[in-house]
Amino acid sequence: MTRTPAGRFAPSPSADLHIGNLRTAVLAWLFARSTGRRFLIRVEDLDYRTDSDIAARQLDDLAALGLTWDGPAEYQTAHRERYDSVIERLIRDDMVYECYCSRRDIAQAPRAPHAPQGAYPGICRDLTGAERAERRRETGRPPALRLRTDVITYTVTDLLHGQHTGIVDDFVVRRGDGVPAYNLAVVVDDAAAGIDQVVRGDDLLSSSPRQAYLARLLGRPQPVYAHVPLVLNADGARLAKRDGAVTLAEIGVGRAFAQITASLGWPARDLGGLLAEFDPARLPRQPWIYVPD
């Protein structure tokens, strides 16, 4: 049976959603619904096990804006075995290696002259068994697992950025504390749910080549991306709590909806109206500067 493909919104329950997150959620919904896709919500709680109240409030806020999704929201912590089995497979196929580096080791490592900024310099890639044992003894902590990649860059298709080529280094797929890394979890979850359209903030554009490359390696389909502009404060920094009224509880549903539609350039009375007008080609490409009124 073939499933209708899906889009999604995947909040991390670290804090209440702010107006920028809400706008991204509205856009993800519009992209999915305007293309006949299902719309799914995934709570990315691998790091936030202790506070499910925040996740519940996030879902309430999405519903208050009128967003609807198919099936119950999915929680990453509910299926750790899904990630573990993929990691087991990567280990079995010798596609990962143990990494003992601290952030400091990585920052201080000598780099090849043309090595891309932000790429892991490969310190642990070719350790012998004896060297690994020694590093384990020295550091006294369990290693992270890094993907042994065979490319330097990878190209994804983004509906707003066109063909985007970015770095693919030997990125972490399981952290030293045993938690599956974000890049791995996203790929595994998107594929498991039949998600083929990924709409999110453009702060994650640089992660998409790594994720799409891993999807290919695992034989999963390549999603199409739409990385939408972030919302910034008057100083050009990411919007944060200290910027004033930024959450739905503070702004109010009606006003937040009006602000979001005005920022998109499509004043609409409700989501249905917005959906009728939605045209990705007309989306603003600049960050939205949000000043609470």
CB of 203 to ligand GLU, least distance (A): 7
- Angle (deg, nearest 10), helices 52-64 and 19-33: 60
- Please, which residues bridge with residue 289 across strands? 232
* Residue 146 three-state SS: strand
The torsion defined by the Cα of 227, 234, 67 and 185, in degrees rounded to 10, comes to: 40
Nearer of residues 228 and 271 to ligand GLU, judged by Cβ: 228
Nearer of residues 101 and 187 to ligand GLU, judged by Cβ: 187
CB of 124 to ligand GLU, least distance (A): 27
**Which amino acid is it at 148?**
R
Nearer of residues 47 and 105 to ligand GLU, judged by Cβ: 47
Nearer of residues 41 and 167 to ligand GLU, judged by Cβ: 41
Residue closest to ligand GLU (Cβ):
200
Nearer of residues 167 and 199 to ligand GLU, judged by Cβ: 199
CB of 129 to ligand GLU, least distance (A): 36
Nearer of residues 11 and 143 to ligand GLU, judged by Cβ: 11
CB of 160 to ligand GLU, least distance (A): 15
Nearer of residues 121 and 201 to ligand GLU, judged by Cβ: 201
- Report which DSSP code applies to 220: P
The angle subtended at Cα 40 by Cα 198 and Cα 197, nearest 5°, is: 20
The angle subtended at Cα 105 by Cα 103 and Cα 111, nearest 5°, is: 110
CB of 74 to ligand GLU, least distance (A): 12
**Which amino acid is it at 166?**
G
> Residue 159: CB partners within 8 Å, gap ≥ 6?
31, 224, 225, 226, 280
CB of 208 to ligand GLU, least distance (A): 9
Rounded Cα–Cα distance for residues 242 and 18 (Å): 11
Rounded Cα–Cα distance for residues 210 and 131 (Å): 28
CB of 232 to ligand GLU, least distance (A): 15
For binding to ligand GLU (CB under 6 A), which residues are involved? 10-12, 44, 186, 200, 204
- Report which DSSP code applies to 28: H
Q: How many Cβ atoms from other residues are within 10 Å of residue 35's Cβ?
A: 14
